[in-house]
Amino acid sequence: MTSDDTPTAPARAVRADVRRNRARLLAAARETFQREGAGASLEGVARTAGVGIGTLYRHFPTRQHLLEALLADAYEELAAAARDLMVAPAPGEALMTWLRTFMARVTVFRGLAASAVVSLRDGRPEGAAARRAMCEAGEALFARAQRAGDAPAGAAFADVLWLTGAIAAVTEREPEAAGRLLSLAAAGMVPGRR
């Protein structure tokens, strides 16, 4: 006996299959992108996942959809990191630590940072919950630094994230430079101008 809300055994099997394929595709994409960057062949990703390219496109209509699904994991981790840092003693230093973590997390493979910048600007529905969670937790950390006088009162957290994403995107092949440019943007390029 089945009601409208209770799926039949075959329907449940189909759903389990869909979930399994999605998980396989994400694992394959992570592995492939780490090796070849975000521009790697999607045919190759599907092959590694053991599914057809049609299945990949049913789950992820575009490359950006696939990248945003991977970013959702990053955003969840970053939301948790921001919450942890809320109790760190120095609010400005805590914000800097988080921004460094953000940069490191969105540069785990070539092309991910550029995709993060797009995802944070466009605000698509994919991965929206994780992105919102990260933005809220990061914003709280930023507001705390503002209250402590460590961050500019008039600035918007979205701009801080955008600027940090931009630095990550241009320095992704040079981690040392990434740290240098972030420090420069944190301290200010022309802080003493009158």
- The 3-class SS string of 26-64 reads HHHHHHHHHHHCCCCCHHHHHHHHCCCHHHHHHHCCCHH
Provide the minimum distance between the beta carbon of 119 and its own copies in the complex, in angstroms, as a whole number: 13
Among 70, 122, 149, 172, binds its own copies (CB under 8 A): 149
**Does residue 32 bind its own copies (CB under 8 A)?**
no
Q: Are 178 and 103 in contact (CB under 8 A)?
A: yes
Among 6, 8, 54, 193, binds its own copies (CB under 8 A): 193
Under rule CB under 8 A, which residues in 81-100 are in contact with its own copies?
90, 92-93, 95-96, 99
Q: Are 49 and 56 in contact (CB under 8 A)?
A: yes
Pairwise CA distance, residues 192 & 40, whole Å: 45
**Does residue 27 bind its own copies (CB under 8 A)?**
no
Provide the minimum distance between the beta carbon of 29 and its own copies in the complex, in angstroms, as a whole number: 24
Q: Of 83, 96, 106, 92, give the one whose Cα is nearest residue 169.
A: 106
Question: For residues 75 and 142, which CB has a smaller minimum distance to its own copies in the complex?
Answer: 142
Provide the minimum distance between the beta carbon of 23 and its own copies in the complex, in angstroms, as a whole number: 32
Q: DSSP for 129-188, please give it.
A: HHHHHHHHHHHHHHHHHHHTTSS-TT--HHHHHHHHHHHHHHSTT-HHHHHHHHHHHHH-
Number of residues lying near its own copies (CB under 8 A): 39
Question: For residues 69 and 167, which CB has a smaller minimum distance to its own copies in the complex?
Answer: 167
- By the criterion CB under 8 A, which residues form the site for its own copies? 90, 92-93, 95-96, 99, 117, 145, 148-152, 155, 159-160, 162-167, 169-171, 177, 180-181, 184-194
